[in-house]
Structure 1
Amino acid sequence: MSLFRRRDRGGEPATRLYYASDIHGSEVLWRKFLNAAAAYKAEVLVMGGDVTGKVVVPLVEGPAGFHVELFGQSQDVAFDDVEEMEHRIRSNGMYPHRMTSEEVARVATLEEDAKEEWFADVMRETFDGWLALADERLDDDTRCFVMPGNDDPAGVDRSIEEAAKVEACDDRVVEFADYTMISLGYANPTPFDSPRELSEDELYRRVSALADQVESMDRCIFNLHVPPYDSSLDTAPALTDDLEVVMSGSAPKMIAVGSTAVRDVIERYQPLLSLHGHVHESPGATNIGRTLCINPGSDYHTGRISACLINLRDGTVRHQFVTG
């Protein structure tokens, strides 16, 4: 499938980049992300954060199989059918974990920090399998950058660093095809107290420290998980202190939830392109000064991956939103 011409008359060939974010543990979407390199003939893949899920589903072993509670329903699964059930759980962004009833009882009594550590270990087992799949699927000419987002636990970093075909980019400067990309997976404070949040002042300091290392903003890409404040890419329902949606009449009250620091650094440095995720409800593209800012949004729970296909050529950028 080719949505852009690869080369116009004269000038440099285009570099094609495929960007997606916020797949939240869906193995189906991870496979689609990897397949995008061949499907769209993209030389560069960028996953912009929030790659892991948030729920472990115990498969409790018994004499005749496993007992599982999924989507509010209890069911028994025969030994021969357990792999199919595990696939179903992973496809919905959750982590199946075979356990004895004694282990379930032990985990239930753990202190909160120990429980989080146990979850991170279970998550990493699955995530390491994802990275091994990338080793199988990606050819040597494809650059694949992955960073954690605000919802991702600490173990994700270590796995990415140890991967063969996937490259870490969080909080660093990377280069490809005469373009420079700076990345940061942290968000400004959220109502959910997620693992990777920073004050606006610290966000500004981190991003500007990276941007100061870039020689030319004409060929620079900002890969920042959180979108700029009040940009139309950051509109989400307002929440109460109890995390209930605030209603305005019969519809949710929508507010800007992006980062003022991210907006400030974009306005100051004016990179060629700025890529964002984090706010699922606000897909779109907008310009802040000369910078094209993009958020493809996320419908991860539907099994469809929302992404943006980007052509970079001669310091210019063209984009097209794609869903698969």
Structure 2
Amino acid sequence: MLSILALSDIHERTQRFKALAKLVEEAGGVELAIVAGDITYFKPASIAIKILEKLHEAVGSPILFIPGNCDDPRLTGSLDTSNNILNIHGKPVEVKGYIFYGIGGGGVSPFNTLIEYSEDDFNDLIRRASGIDPGRLIMITHQPVNGFFDKVDNMHIGSKVFREFMTARQPLLWITGHIHEHSGWIRSGGTVIVHPGPFMHGYYALITISGGSVAGVSIKRI
């Protein structure tokens, strides 16, 4: 069994970490924390790393993270972090037999935020995950999958490349973020899609994987 805490869109709201830690402990603790981008709001990479270190101190579990569109572009590369805080943007990482693969940043937008990718860029990044056994694959993306937790002003802004990959490969689990107006989870084919909701407003998710399937998802709010 693998127990996961999933967060997205922290945007520097570290004052909630203490309350989060208490709630996670009351729920039995977690073995892994996932941060699906937007750790900061246009701050340097060093600030993002400090926030992740604070999160690790609070919840006590290793952290896998990707940057969001509002994070420093240097977070798409290799930066010095502790062994308990791993950047998985464009990199597969194995935990207890499951393969986590991350793609940070958002889609191209009128706002010209710090990390934005075209659909061609997303295609290049996600192709690196095409050889991973989908039954063991857990995708972490900041940009949502088209049609799932991605509606803004009556428009679906999620990645169509992600939707095509999900439909074809059906990974076990897909954790996303970015769109502050949404929070929830849904099953599509063989994939469970989880959008914890913005942690800046107190949202988070607890996920349990057991026997090669997603056994439970709880969306919570502090």
Alignment TM-score > 0.5, same fold = yes
Pair 1:18-2:16 in alignment: no
Percent of residue pairs bearing the same amino acid type: 23
SS in 1 for 2:171: coil
Output the CA distance in 2 between the equivalents of 1:31 and 1:148.
23
Pair 1:192-2:111 in alignment: yes
| Contact persistence 1:131–1:163 (CA under 8 A) | no
Output the CA distance in 2 between the equivalents of 1:204 and 1:314.
30
Residue number in structure 2 paired with 1:207: 126
Alignment of 1:140-219 (within 5 A): 142-156=61-75, 161-212=80-131, 214=132, 216-219=133-136
Q: 1:230 to 1:137 in 2, by over 3 A?
A: closer
Point out which structure has higher relative CO (alpha carbons under 8 A, 6+ apart): 2
| CA deviation after TM superposition for structure 1 residue 293, in Å | 1.0
| Number of residue-to-residue matches in the alignment | 220
SS in 2 for 1:312: strand
Q: 1:188 to 1:46 in 2, by over 3 A?
A: same
| CA deviation after TM superposition for structure 1 residue 130, in Å | 2.8
| Contact persistence 1:127–1:159 (CA under 8 A) | no
- CA deviation map 1:100-135 (0-9, x unaligned): xxxxxxxxxxxxxxxxxxx63xx73x4443344356
Pair 1:322-2:188 in alignment: no
Output the CA distance in 2 between the equivalents of 1:191 and 1:31.
36
Residue number in structure 2 paired with 1:10: none
Q: 1:182 to 1:159 in 2, by over 3 A?
A: closer
- CA deviation map 1:116-160 (0-9, x unaligned): xxx63xx73x44433443564454xx3211221111013445795
Output the CA distance in 2 between the equivalents of 1:164 and 1:33.
22
Q: Give the TM-score taking structure 2 as reference length.
A: 0.88
RMSD: 2.4
Output the CA distance in 2 between the equivalents of 1:158 and 1:33.
29
Q: 1:320 to 1:30 in 2, by over 3 A?
A: same
SS in 2 for 1:268: helix
Residue number in structure 1 paired with 2:138: 221
Provide structure 1 residue ranges, at least 5 long, that are not aligned to the other structure. 1-13, 55-118, 238-253
Q: 1:150 to 1:293 in 2, by over 3 A?
A: same
Residue number in structure 1 paired with 2:14: 27
| Counterpart code for 2:140 | N
| Contact persistence 2:180–2:197 (CA under 8 A) | yes
Output the CA distance in 1 between the equivalents of 2:53 and 2:156.
38
| Counterpart code for 2:211 | D
Output the CA distance in 2 between the equivalents of 1:211 and 1:146.
20
SS in 2 for 1:161: coil
Residue number in structure 2 paired with 1:52: 40
Pair 1:311-2:211 in alignment: no
Residue number in structure 2 paired with 1:130: 51
| Counterpart code for 2:152 | A
Residue number in structure 2 paired with 1:293: 193
Provide structure 2 residue ranges, at least 5 long, that are not aligned to the other structure. none
| CA deviation after TM superposition for structure 1 residue 34, in Å | 5.7
* Larger mean Cα displacement after TM superposition, 23-32 or 193-202: 23-32
| Counterpart code for 1:282 | H
| Counterpart code for 2:137 | C
SS in 2 for 1:282: coil
| CA deviation after TM superposition for structure 1 residue 314, in Å | 0.5
SS in 2 for 1:162: coil
Question: Which structure has the larger Rg?
Answer: 1
| Counterpart code for 1:133 | K
| Contact persistence 1:218–1:271 (CA under 8 A) | yes
Output the CA distance in 2 between the equivalents of 1:292 and 1:225.
16
| CA deviation after TM superposition for structure 1 residue 230, in Å | 1.9
Pair 1:270-2:167 in alignment: no
Output the CA distance in 1 between the equivalents of 2:21 and 2:111.
30
| CA deviation after TM superposition for structure 1 residue 161, in Å | 3.4
Q: Give the TM-score taking structure 1 as reference length.
A: 0.62
| CA deviation after TM superposition for structure 1 residue 177, in Å | 1.1
